[in-house]
Amino acid sequence: MTDFATAGDAMPDIVMQTPDGGTVKPSDFAGRKLVVFFYPKDNTPGCTTEAKDFTALKSAFDAAGVELLGVSKDSPKKHQNFIAKHELTTPLATDEEEGGLSDALGIWTEKQMYGKTYMGMVRTTYLVDANGVIAQVWNKVKVKGHAQEVLAAAEAL
């Protein structure tokens, strides 16, 4: 199992797919602060709330010079539907590939529910400074109030 990435580590620069068929990677945001929030699955209650909360605060993140990127293992097509259904303005990316960014960060990991073991995403948010270094990590995120907490940390960076 990969160790979790922590503050002070460089953000791995791994390419992901965007819903429109393009690609995105952390170094695309060089020179700007970046918040990357990883969530388990599109259109589930907690993930929907989290994505909507970041969308609601997007103008405040923009004003603070902070880029946003939501990431899950869902396909680009599922992301398109998720964006349309909930009118999301926060960019999303797909990290489907084995050995992708969530694997490199150690947050695609074995989980258990009802006695069954499966691979799943640990809801985690990274605040990355303009030099591509992880400034702060929120592991096992509780959604309520999270986007506001991340905004405050990003503004202070």
Strand-pairing partners, residue 125, are 37, 138
Q: How far apart are CA 99 and CA 108, in angstroms?
A: 10
Residues 6 or more apart whose CB falls under 8 angstroms from that of 116 comprise none
Strand-pairing partners, residue 127, are 35, 136
Catalytic residue numbers, as ranges:
47
Strands 124-128 and 92-94: unpaired
Q: How far apart are CA 58 and CA 152, in angstroms?
A: 13
